[in-house]
Amino acid sequence: MQILDGKKTSEDIKNEIAAEVQQMKANGEKVPHLAAVIVGNNGASLTYVGSKVRSCEQIGFDSTLVALPEETTEAELLAKIKELNEDDNLDGYIVQLPLPKHIDEEKILLAIDPQKDVDGFHPTNFGRMALEMETFLPATPFGIMELLERYKVETSGKHTVVIGRSHIVGRPMSILMSRKGNPGDSTVTLTHSRTKNLEEYTKNADIIITALGVPEFLKADMVKDGVVIIDVGITRVEDASNSKGYVIKGDVDFDGVSKKSSFITPVPGGVGPMTIAMLLKNTLLARKIRSRK
């Protein structure tokens, strides 16, 4: 069994990007500029956006944090997005979700310029991904593909079972794993909350990618020997014995399933760190695309 170490891999990617940025500076080129928009005071969102800004500083990107109050109206946020779309100094930006309930998230995501949508959520980019064209891939699925590639996990002709059909992870994962190339060329089964007899699928899977959000859902008796496990789940579980009062659990019963796995991601330290690294990689791509014009 080999651990797919997202923490180490994400640091490797950041170092590679930092070296490329240094070369851009040496050549007198503009360095990538990423902005993050956050509305309100959601604690988890603030932490996540803060880590994105620190990562930008770490690798030499320019970064801008646009922090708007909770009471910001939809019209005011749309005006800010228009401003960011028209800012030639900016290569890409993200709007941190969730947004306050009085703002229509779909309307906001549709307003983002697809050429600056480094989260890869805009329908234009989603469509380009499905058609195997150059685009910004959603960061978490992109990170999973990068892990599979760097650890030389064989995916061609394999049966991949994806658990969860969210637009952020499950659905794009099912598309990426079935695309031509490496990683890819898999036969994919997309399962979800309405799937009957889920174990019939997981027991026959060569690769399982789970993004369900149910702690330790996937047990050892649900998988076959040699399976590759990608655990996207991340749930806080109360634990009085822990100094924080909780522990982070994935969708997979790690102790049991790891004994049967050929490769497995830990939680934390697996897929999570890769997400920010791939957001940075998307921003670097955005800069390169803009510099071609």
Flag whether pLDDT at 44 surpasses 90.
Answer: no
Mean pLDDT confidence for 167-194: 96
Flag whether pLDDT at 23 surpasses 90.
Answer: yes
Which pLDDT score, from 0 to 100, does residue 104 have?
Answer: 97
> Structural domain boundaries of the chain?
28-113, 139-272
Q: Report the distance separating Cα 274 and Cα 29, nearest Å.
A: 27
Q: Is 287 annotated as a binding residue?
A: no
Q: Is 166 annotated as a binding residue?
A: yes
Q: Is 3 annotated as a binding residue?
A: no
Which pLDDT score, from 0 to 100, does residue 42 have?
Answer: 84
DSSP 65-101: EEEE-TT--HHHHHHHHHHHHH-TT--EEEEPSSPPT
Q: Is 164 annotated as a binding residue?
A: yes
Q: Catalytic positions, please?
A: 52, 96, 119
28-113 and 139-272 share one fold: yes
Q: Average pLDDT over the chain, rounded to whole?
A: 96
Mean pLDDT confidence for 237-244: 91
Neighbours of 169 (CB within 10 A): 26
Which pLDDT score, from 0 to 100, does residue 180 have?
Answer: 96
Tell me which fold the domain 28-113 belongs to: Rossmann fold (3.40.50)
Which pLDDT score, from 0 to 100, does residue 155 have?
Answer: 98
Neighbours of 84 (CB within 10 A): 19
Which pLDDT score, from 0 to 100, does residue 46 have?
Answer: 86
Domain 139-272 has CATH 3.40.50.720: yes
Evaluate whether 191 touches 162 at the Cβ level (below 8 Å). Answer: yes
Q: Report the distance separating Cα 237 and Cα 243, nearest Å.
A: 13
Residue range 82-138, pLDDT digits in tens: 999 999 999 999 999 999 999 999 999 999 999 999 999 999 999 999 999 999 999
